[in-house]
Structure 1
Amino acid sequence: MSSTEPEVKRTRFQRFKHAFSSPSAFHQSLILSSSTSILINEDLAPSPPIRQRWTIWSYFAYWWSESWNVSTWSVGAAFITLGASIRDALLVVFFANLLSAVIIVLNGRAAARHHIGYPVLSRSSFGIYGQYFVVILRSLLGIIWGGVQLYFEGQFISICLRCIFPGWSKIKNTIPLSQHITTQEMIGFFLAFCFTIPFLFIHTSKITTFIWATNKNGGVSSGNLQASSSYSSTTVLAWGIVAQFNAVMGANSALLVTVPDLARYSKTKNAQLWGQLISLPIGQTLCAAFGIISTSAVLNMYGEAYWNPYALLNGILDQGYSSSARAGVFFASASFAFATLGTSIACNFIPFGADMTCLAPRYINIIRGQLLMLLIAFAIVPWRIVATANGFLNFLGGYSIFQGPVVAIMLVDYFIIRRGNIELEDLYTRSRLGRYWFFNGFNVRAFVAFVIGFILPLPGFAGTFGHNVGDAADHMFALGWVLSFLMGGLTYWVACMIFKIPGDDREHSWESKVGPAQTIINDGLHIEGRRPFHDKDSDMSQGNSESVRESKGVGNAV
């Protein structure tokens, strides 16, 4: 085709066919035209006004839907198997989620004002290259949670098949017991993998089992639902509650860090505030309450505490395989399966896809990142994580000690050190003159604070794997997320007071740079090759380097 002939627009099928015509064509089909450097593509750039559509009700609906998931049910119900009372479990869940909501709102502030996601925002506190570490750290948890939710979905699919086919449970299990999964469950897991591919987002209420358990038990009463306590003293009880509080924070720890991936779409500066602050603690507590009450009710009836809903549904069928039981369990399982699918996509696949865009921006956008996560989640063995209630809680509490310092550092950096001021252009440059270059692209202060943050509860974390570490280490681990959060944030603040960060953010009034950043975004200068975020990877590329350094107030970085 000559240069004067108009280019013929290919259909989607023609583009797909052409992509497999040769290795070079396939490679070209993978390249994103929106990526002009390793720091930007269509999903890393600030969200344009057309995407700033999330209102208060959008965030309320999101968190309300996210709250109704198997993990929230299981965290609450698992407390009953460990000897907690209904009152203790409900209070722990509510106050832990209230704290989570406050942290989420604070960490979403910068993203709502500058319309940037977690990978880009983390550059301001951890450095242009330091961001990769914290993104991968969060992504590992996303993969595990995605696999766990996929396993939950497979469990419910297996139960649905058991309701349809009476001989389903009689299929010979050829998988060793040590693997904590049966042939039927493995089939369900594979089907869940297949069903996830075409679905985008589905939300379904999960109150069916709660209604059944409450009615079957003769109603909700404090006498019937009070589980017998296994605690031998007030001290043991107190530390048990602290550990349970930390387990809830652990369940929320990934979203506490990556909430900027949602807050960036806020239509107004306060839309993300009220929608998340109200919906999260209420929704999470209600779902956990249903799990707690149902588990207690069944404990009184059957003498066994089913701490997860798929075990409860199987228990119902074990007690009586009648037509009414099969019908009720089938619809309850189907509801759980679809809701788990929607929750996983919204809370694991989408954030993972957003985070992965920074690792290979030339090839990965959010959609491709989600598909990558699905493949990885299929390859792990999440059923071993949820094999027992104790193991499930240990996993949640354990990994959270690495997430606490990250969110603390980001909050201290934005609210105290920078006074809400971010230089938008410098988030997209590798120039040594950029204020987020720090020391060869890494903010050493942040990484020192990160290590000090998780080092105290780390011995106790090791103790959960069978090592004898002593009571002091166990107690510090029980404080887990809270301890790592406080130590990480305090250390970072002290480090920044001693070793001043580059730039003059503290000399400006609160969020005074939001206006200029919004002007850049509203004018659309960050898209279609007109963006000012050219990847200036040398000092000379900025013209008069000395004048630029002086105008930005950038000094020597640690």
Structure 2
Amino acid sequence: MDAYDEGPSRWQRFRHAFTSPSAFHQALRLKSSTSILINEDLAPSPPSRQTWTLWNYFAYWWSESWNVSTWSVGAAFITLGASIRDALLVVFFANLLSAVVIVLNGRAASEYHIGYPVISRSSFGIYGEYFVVVLRSILGIIWGGVQLYFEGQFISVCLRCIFPGWEKIHNSIPADQYITTQVMVGFFLAFLFTIPFLFIHTSKIQHLFSVKSVIMPAAGLGIVIWATSQNGGVSSGSLENSGAKPSTSVLAWGIISQFNSVMGANSALLVTVPDLARYSKTKNAQLWGQLISLPIGQTLCAAFGVISTSAVLNMYGQAYWNPYDLLNGILDESYSSKARAGVFFASASFAFATLGTSIACNFIPFAADVTCLLPKYINIIRGQLLCLVIAFSIVPWRIVSTANGFLNFLGGYSIFQGPVVGIMLVDYFFVRKGNLVLPDLFTLSPHGRYYFFHGFNLRAFSAFVIGFLLPLPGFAGSFGHDIGEAATHMYALGWLLSFLTGSLAYYVISTIWKVPGDDEESRNLPFEARVEAAKQIIDRGFETTELTVGFEGGDASRESSGPDKDAHVIEKMA
């Protein structure tokens, strides 16, 4: 008899879960979790889940480039006094730097096939990982809700195209709630449309981004063609002339600030890219797929936004910064069948793109990271659903409409993300030379390499604080406090300053205060010499218990100091 026929069916297991409290609790527990450090989604990805190819990474970052914020960033910068060339160059080079950091921070994950929570243990400690995971998860929840609100806006536009009386529906929601009945319906539908996609594991979701990578650029190009043909040209001067020309000094710092804004918008993904890179089929798939698509895609999307906003400003006398206002503006000017059809296609494409962006930037990172907080109960699928429920409940339209101070906080949050990714890169490439001892990442033994001081790497936390200290006064000033010009300029350097300062601080501290296991033998190992030993564990198709058996006591951890001894440990576990 086939093994699958011997056990109860999924429906029988579901029914049994509700027969008693203990049965329900047992159904919630993940059998793959053998300690507080591991479950099926914290363990290294087995070969069956190493499914992302070069094209998948290219399509992911290409599709991610086409979103609401990228569309509006170039046009908004031009009104501050920059030229179109300046705006697009800033977008290109900021995203080129982002792509380089993404590739570097994805290197360890593509070699050892482990995600951000586990990799961060090597830098911040077995318990220190919880701090950096929570630091990132907060953004996932907030921006997950905001993107859900954006998606609801586009769905509302689609319904307006279908139903002529959509805008005439009575709005019974008070004005102080900052949302209308129409947008609320769209928001609820966005919530429902998102649910099915969250049942797909990250190792299988890549096809969603392949579809988005084709649909969204086509929709953006359609808007550009319509806007320029209706206007009889681009009329780029409309945007450039709409803002007062600042002095050279003010413009220079404005360019720096805008560069930092783009880096800040990417900062969360720069940190948690290991949650995607771990599924790389080959070590170079994530390299070329990510390095090329992000700067080119974001620059094209920003250029499309500039062209469309300029043309519409020249026609209608009003600049629509974000695409859902632009699409509503088109319907306000003309509600013909041709306009409705075009707007419906564009709005549906943007709704789908926003869904993809939210999954890519919020639900996947949150779910992959929050698994370490409750590994006995939360895997990636459950984490994604949890993120959606919380994001739905935080009333994101009030955040967008009223919480200016809170949005300033989110904008400046990148100064806390910069040191994290800098510390992780220095730790992997310079301190450990790409050599991680896989079993020690899953042990609570005080003898493990990554236990440090009671589970916390004080070197990393010291460098983290040093990293954000310089831009911190400027961050406080963004809330309206009176600060000096120097603090304002340091804050304009935000992410870049905190990244460089945190990286340098960690390198110096680790040089003076050696990390555990940094003996002469380890220092003389070739770069990534331990990768092959780790792959022997992964490729064998291990059970999650293998990584913890024999290591809680610390004996095996003390033996693991070199490729040969790593292989000996592997044989012991087998």
Structure-1 residue corresponding to 2:411: 397
1:223–1:390 CA distance, 2 compared to 1 (3 A) = farther
Aligned to 1:113: 111
Note if contact 2:75-2:239 (Cα within 8 Å) is conserved in structure 1: no
User: 2:449 is matched with which residue: 427, 435, 438?
Assistant: 435
The yes-or-no answer on 1:369 pairing with 2:402 is no
- CA deviation map 1:171-211 (0-9, x unaligned): 34444545433232222112211111123546232313222
Whole-angstrom CA distance in 2 between matches of 1:45 and 1:548: 19
Contact 1:213–1:297 under 8 Å retained in 2: yes
SS of 2:325's partner is helix
Instruction: Answer yes or no: is the 8 Å Cα contact 1:98–1:281 preserved in 2.
Output: yes
Give 5+ residue unaligned stretches, structure 1: 1-5, 553-558
Paired residue for 1:52, among 47, 50, 53?
50
In structure 1, what is the Cα distance between the partners aligned to 2:401 and 2:87? 21
Per-residue deviation, 1:321: 2.5
Residue equivalent to 1:556 = none
Comparing 61-70 with 150-159, greater Cα deviation is found at: 61-70
Contact (CA 8 Å) 1:307, 1:389: kept in 2 or not?
no
Describe the superposition over 1:106-156 as per-residue Cα deviations: whole angstroms up to 9, x where unpaired. Answer: 001111111111010000000000001101111111112211110110001
Deviates more, 1:470-479 or 1:307-316: 470-479
Pick the aligned partner of 1:310 from 321, 324, 330: 324
1:360 to 374, 399, 402: 374
Alpha-carbon displacement from aligned partner over 1:418-463 (angstroms, at most 9, x marks no partner): 1111111100001010010000000011111111111221221222
Q: 1:465 to 1:381 in 2, by over 3 A?
A: farther
Q: Distance in 1 between matches of 2:403 and 2:492?
A: 16
- Once structures 1 and 2 are overlaid, which stretch shifts more, 239-248 or 51-60? 51-60
CA distance in 2, matches of 1:248, 1:389: 21
Residue 533 of structure 1 is matched in structure 2 by 548
The one of 501, 513, 516 aligned to 1:487: 501
Partner of 1:341: 355
Q: Does the CA contact (< 8 Å) of 1:459 and 1:469 recur in 2?
A: yes
How many positions carry a matched residue from both structures? 542
Q: What secondary structure, in the 3-state scheme, does the structure 1 residue paired with 2:503 have?
A: helix
Query: Does residue 253 of structure 1 match 2:270?
Result: no
Identical aligned residues as a percent: 75
Give the corresponding residue for 2:91.
93
1:362 Cα deviation after fit = 0.7
Which string of whole-angstrom CA distances, capped at 9 and with x for unpartnered residues, describes residues 75-95 of structure 1?
333324444332121111000
| Amino acid corresponding to residue 44 of structure 2 in structure 1 | P
User: What displacement does 1:158 show?
Assistant: 1.1
Q: What amino acid does structure 2 have at the position aligned with 1:378? A: F
Q: Is the 8 A contact 1:225 1:293 kept in 2?
A: no
TM-score of the pair, normalised by structure 1: 0.91
For 2:474, the equivalent position in structure 1 comes to 460
Equivalent residues in 2 for 1:289-328, closer than 5 Å:
289-328=303-342
Distance of aligned partners of 1:123 and 1:494 in 2 relative to their CA distance in 1, 3 Å threshold? same
* Residues in 2 aligned to 1:51 and 1:400: alpha-carbon distance in whole angstroms: 31
1:450 aligned to which of 460, 464, 469: 464
Q: Is the 8 A contact 1:386 1:392 kept in 2?
A: no
Equivalent position SS for 1:361: coil
Corresponding letter in the other structure for 1:438:
F
* Corresponding residue of 2:185: 187
- Name 1:522's counterpart in structure 2: 539
SS at match of 2:413: helix
170, 189, 199: which one pairs with 2:197?
A: 199
Q: Any conservation in 1 of the 2:448–2:558 contact (CA below 8 Å)?
A: no
* The 10-residue stretch of structure 1 (143-152 or 402-411) with the greater mean CA deviation from structure 2: 143-152
Structure 2 equivalent of residue 3 of structure 1 = none
- Aligned with residue 268 of structure 1, among 241, 259, 282: 282
Question: Residue by residue, what CA displacement relative to the aligned partner does 1:392-439 show, whole Å, maximum 9, x if unpaired?
Answer: 984553111111010000001011111111111100001010010000
1:27 Cα offset (Å): 0.6
Partner of 1:419, secondary structure, is coil
TM-score (norm. length: structure 2): 0.89
1:423–1:234: structure 2 CA closer, same or farther, 3 Å change rule? same
| Cα distance, 1:372–1:535 mapped onto 2, change above 3 Å | farther
RMSD across aligned positions (CA): 2.4
1:216-271 superposed Cα distances (whole Å, 9 cap, x missing partner): 22223654564433342111111111111111111111110011111111122211
Shift of 1:320: 2.4
